[in-house]
Structure 1
């Protein structure tokens, strides 16, 4: 059984009341759980401002779509997720996965589906999607095995997930993990995975991100630039915000802040939920294609090793009309056929009448003036005939 480093679990996300920058600190010793977040983000975080998923919320908020978070569990009592977290499954132990010691899975789930709440500008991409937590680690051991990850993907498929988010990776190819990804594809499930954070450690190929049917996601900062830690490669499909990202934590209200491709992937998973909700007829392959071709493309040959097809664009992903989708895509209303402009009817009478009218005015106006002058003279004489001088011989 191969073990893959769970770098995503090796650091805790901590926030003070003023939301300081992410600080990487070890997990509490002895397998202890992280405390609830103490800070709150009152304003809209930069990823939500830039991606603006609310532009399509009149059309879809992800309702009817179950998104599996294959991770550390998800706290079902976190206020912005409450009521939309299923019991899930714990493949690393037994029982459910609707609690979260480490907080990582809850943070990821919040990016996907956190609902609006008073006092904070933070919301998830698809705030009416349902979260299916699949725990692949145990509180007693923060390491993650490829076997548990593969089992988690299969369990998510069998439980009815339409989208699966995997914010974990290994640099060692594994037959069981590859088979699990193929299992998801055979059941028409979109799998989204983080590309990992090893760009400065040799940029190794990572799995499951590099499998052909997986949407591999890298990270960008608030300027849209490639994050220096985000791994690159020809398999990279998309990028999303992954630097100073805000989301929720377990065991209370408030938000944390963190950086990593782990937190870029759920922006894509949330967008996939929006698309699957609004376009239920599309296959998993068509959803992947739609996310790629509607992304904000970089000025480079596509796919770019560092940016893939570009930054995910929720509005375009939901609303774009793609001719290649044919009958499975949005219905296109054809415009009426073009017609030649009707030739104007020649007016034979109008010009004649116009000329006669002008002539009448030329004749009548002087006459009217003469009559007016005579009438005025007659009124002055009391309408008596004018006297005439008779000249005698």
Structure 2
């Protein structure tokens, strides 16, 4: 009996070890119901002429006179980015291919990364109202997956480190894993320690158990959920205490891979780049702010819901690009001087200080005595002068003295009033 129990324990330990060694899957967070395929998607050639509702909601044109995100490098950790798309031409660097461990990432078979990059930095084009929220920013593509299901927590962690090492100041992660990973956690800390703001999707499984999504759930990360045109949380958008901000994630218009046209799709993957683009606008206009300060600024300037903040359904509210850039936050300009121990005085300096203190005390006392004397003298002279009518003693001696109380020499009450009036 004992031998059979021991044999089962050995087999269980072996299976546990094997499972622990398997890679943790990463799910591309959008589309909300992505097809499990890595085949290249069909390019779109159809331009959508109207201004998308997302831009009507966020009104980025209000902030563009101040900044369009110039000088900011935004890493898009995804399926690559098609640099040949006209609205991204010249704005995409070669990047790093982590999942295939070779080559660049400026092409995109699946199209997810190109869509995300378009939300961030697509330049304006004739015949369409679709444009990136930060069209002055530059994109650094980091390929961590070829499609919606072949990435792992390990490739995601290595992609974050690659983005930091490439010089990105904002990282967009429109993917998630539902298992905490030490390697991923350390990569997030690596980014935070180098003043890089990491923006990640909260994922789309709210109706499938609402599992905790990583890296969004790590405290250093800005976690983003989705709202629709009505301003309410999308049904698929996950909730939780780690949720920071919301952004449009329903019927989002962006770029297609391999063509000149546009696509429309939904998911927290496509809400996330609106927040990453807003962070790029802030980092461009306020270059001295730290990543922590940028994250806080985006939270404080959001369109807050009428609930206790942060709300588990809506976080701090819907991102507001104009307020994020233009609001003056006193906490960013208040600096408390450091108070350290004062250096000890040497005996000579201490003696001089004590002497100066005694001299100052003596001068103060002398001044007080003189002032008291002057005040007393003035108090003595004014009543006497008043009674004499401010005449000299000689004038008083020359004035005839009254013969009696009723004599003519006594001045009348009218004379007294006139003299003192």
TM-score, normalising length from structure 1? 0.77
Q: Spell out, residue by residue over 1:301-344, the C-alpha distance to the aligned partner (whole angstroms, 9 max, x if none).
A: 1001110000000000000000000169xxxxxxxxxxxxxxxx
2:48 is matched with which residue?
41
Quick check: which one's helix share is greater? 2
Cα distance, 1:4 vs structure 2: 2.0
2:132 is matched with which residue?
124
Alignment check: 8 A CA contact 1:8 1:104 kept: no
Distance across 1 between alignment mates of 2:128 and 2:334: 41
State which of 21, 26, 32 in structure 1 corresponds to 2:35. Answer: 26
Cα distance, 1:205 vs structure 2: 1.0
Q: Secondary structure in 2 aligned to 1:208? A: coil
Q: Spell out, residue by residue over 1:270-323, the C-alpha distance to the aligned partner (whole angstroms, 9 max, x if none).
A: 000000000000000000000000000000110011100000000000000000
2:284 is matched with which residue?
277
2:261 is matched with which residue?
254
Cα distance, 1:119 vs structure 2: 0.5
Distance across 2 between alignment mates of 1:245 and 1:132: 22
Distance across 2 between alignment mates of 1:157 and 1:39: 35
Cα distance, 1:25 vs structure 2: 6.5
Q: Spell out, residue by residue over 1:58-90, the C-alpha distance to the aligned partner (whole angstroms, 9 max, x if none).
A: 110000000000000000011111101000000
TM-score, normalising length from structure 2? 0.72
Q: Which runs of 5+ in 2 are unaligned?
A: 1-21, 336-421
Cα distance, 1:248 vs structure 2: 0.3
Distance across 1 between alignment mates of 2:207 and 2:45: 32
1:91 is matched with which residue?
98
How does 1:1-393 map onto structure 2 within 5 Å?
1-8=22-29, 26=35, 31-93=38-100, 94-138=102-146, 142-326=149-333
Cα distance, 1:41 vs structure 2: 1.3
Q: Spell out, residue by residue over 1:243-270, the C-alpha distance to the aligned partner (whole angstroms, 9 max, x if none).
A: 0101001111111010000000000000
Cα distance, 1:5 vs structure 2: 4.4
Q: Whose radius of gyration is greater, 1 or 2?
A: 2
Distance across 2 between alignment mates of 1:231 and 1:95: 35
More off after superposition, 200-209 vs 63-72: 200-209
Q: Spell out, residue by residue over 1:190-240, the C-alpha distance to the aligned partner (whole angstroms, 9 max, x if none).
A: 000000001001111110001001000000000100100000000000000
Distance across 2 between alignment mates of 1:74 and 1:297: 33
2:343 is matched with which residue?
none
Alignment check: 8 A CA contact 1:132 1:161 kept: yes
Q: Secondary structure in 2 aligned to 1:264? A: helix
Distance 1:160 1:7, change over 3 A: closer
Alignment check: 8 A CA contact 2:45 2:261 kept: yes
Q: Alpha carbon RMSD of aligned pairs, Å?
A: 1.6
Alignment check: 8 A CA contact 2:28 2:269 kept: no
Q: Spell out, residue by residue over 1:137-191, the C-alpha distance to the aligned partner (whole angstroms, 9 max, x if none).
A: 136x841100000000000000000000000011100000000000000100000
Q: Spell out, residue by residue over 1:333-372, the C-alpha distance to the aligned partner (whole angstroms, 9 max, x if none).
A: xxxxxxxxxxxxxxxxxxxxxxxxxxxxxxxxxxxxxxxx
Cα distance, 1:8 vs structure 2: 3.7
Aligned residues: 313
Alignment check: 8 A CA contact 2:29 2:176 kept: no
Q: Secondary structure in 2 aligned to 1:119? A: coil
Distance 1:7 1:154, change over 3 A: closer
